[in-house]
Amino acid sequence: MRKLWLIFAQTATVALAILFVIATLKPEWLPQRNSGTQVVELRQAEPGAVAAARAGSYSDAVRRAVPAVVNVFTSKEIKTPRHPFLDDPLFRQFFGDRFDEPQRTTGLGSGVIVSAKGYILTNHHVVEAADEIEVATADGRKMRARVVGSDPDTDLAVLQVPGGMLPPITLGDDAGLRPGDVVLAIGNPFGIGQTVTMGIVSGLGRTPRINVFENFIQTDAAINPGNSGGALVDSAGNLVGINTAIYSRSGGSLGIGFAIPVSTARQVMEQIIQTGTVTRGWIGVEAQEITPEVAESFNMKPASGALISGVLRGGPADKAGVKPGDVLVAVEGKPVRDPSSMLNLVAALKPGAPATLKLRREQKEIDIQVEVGRRPKLQRR
């Protein structure tokens, strides 16, 4: 019995060795299993399911707005202090005039085509002091642009390029915006190309104190360097704002971005196109916010409005009888919430025209007629 077991074990070992050698050197000699075509089952989405999923997409809004958003490239010469060595004859003998060549710096931003005549809205800080401006459209065209005019007080500028089949964007109504509405930011962040980001309206009437006149739309749609001057559109692709600034500690988006409302941008743009500049109303007063501490010191109840803290002697308000301590509660029937809204309401008045101011004086409300003056230009350093 033992002998038979040894013979069986040796035979099995030899057979396995032969099988291993054949499988390694001549696998085609062995019979193939499942030699037929293998069938792989895949799941294909139904056309109706794709359409239903796209119902929640904003691709149609993007398709409408993107052709009207351009990339803006600027260049300007920078002046650097001249080193005393450059005037040394021996130094110039060895190095020549290579250090006398002017140095240039470049910048980038975005813009929005608002007219088929080639008018483009962007930010003042995008094109400030630039001596060469080039815009690139979404379809790849590049053209030189000129500055029609700019308004540093709102950080807006109007450019113009040669007209011809430029697709203007459709202007929306920022007055209908509510916190929570979906908005899309379109621009050229970091110069990587036209980019669309999505967010919501986080707040309205923001005043982060970066411009003289402020009424910003706050959004959490990602806005980064290069997006300045780009479009903020609603879910239908209509322009509701011009992306302008971000709050950031790193230089990138932290979810707090600011856009100039399209209503403000339109007013500024129309004046610049017509006259090349922006004219604003002025009454010659200084105002401050009515905080609980201020209300207590003036023996008044905390309320909306702007406390007149100073009146320019001989100015429109002084001639009309406005006094320090008055509270301005309305301009031409429009309520004043705070000094910032007062500044915007007064600026919108037409210089030389009469306007009605509603004041609260000694717990009584009175109406005063004032002849609006022209706001003087700020002296910028």
Closest CA to 300 of 290, 309, 310: 290
From residue 231, give the alpha-carbon distance in Å to each of 113, 226, 306.
10, 12, 33
Is 83 labeled as catalytic in the residue annotation? no
Pick the catalytic residue: 124, 125, 150, 202?
125
Rounded Cα distance, 174 and 177, in Å: 5
Assign 271 to helix, strand or coil. helix
Rounded Cα distance, 119 and 269, in Å: 9
pLDDT in tens, the chain (381 residues): 667 667 777 777 777 777 766 777 667 666 666 555 556 666 655 665 555 555 678 999 999 999 999 999 999 877 665 555 555 665 555 555 555 556 778 889 999 999 988 999 999 999 998 889 999 999 889 999 999 999 999 999 999 998 667 899 999 998 889 999 999 999 999 888 899 999 999 999 888 888 888 889 999 999 998 999 999 999 999 999 999 998 887 777 788 999 999 999 999 999 999 988 898 999 999 998 888 887 777 666 666 788 898 999 999 999 999 999 889 989 999 999 888 889 889 998 999 999 999 998 888 889 999 999 998 876 654
Pairing of strands 182-187, 195-206: antiparallel
pLDDT recorded at residue 381: 47
Tokens of 205: 């009437």
Closest CA to 372 of 324, 295, 336, 320: 320
- For the stretch 352-357, contacts whose Cβ atoms lie closer than 8 Å and that sit 24 or more positions apart, written own/partner, are 355/281, 355/283, 355/331, 356/331, 356/332, 357/283, 357/317, 357/320, 357/322, 357/328, 357/330, 357/331
pLDDT recorded at residue 208: 87
Neighbour-count burial of 4, counting CB atoms closer than 10 A to its CB (0-12 exposed, 13-18 middle, 19+ buried): exposed
Is 155 labeled as catalytic in the residue annotation? yes
Q: Are 3 and 11 in contact (CB under 8 A)?
A: no
234 φ, ψ (degrees, to nearest 5) = -85, -175
Which domains, and CATH codes, for the chain?
A: 63-160 (2.40.10.10), 174-275 (2.40.10.10), 281-374 (2.30.42.10)
Rounded Cα distance, 163 and 81, in Å: 41
Terminus-to-terminus CA distance in the chain, angstroms?
112
Pick the catalytic residue: 151, 153, 155, 174?
155
Pick the catalytic residue: 110, 150, 228, 341?
228
Whole-structure pTM value: 0.75
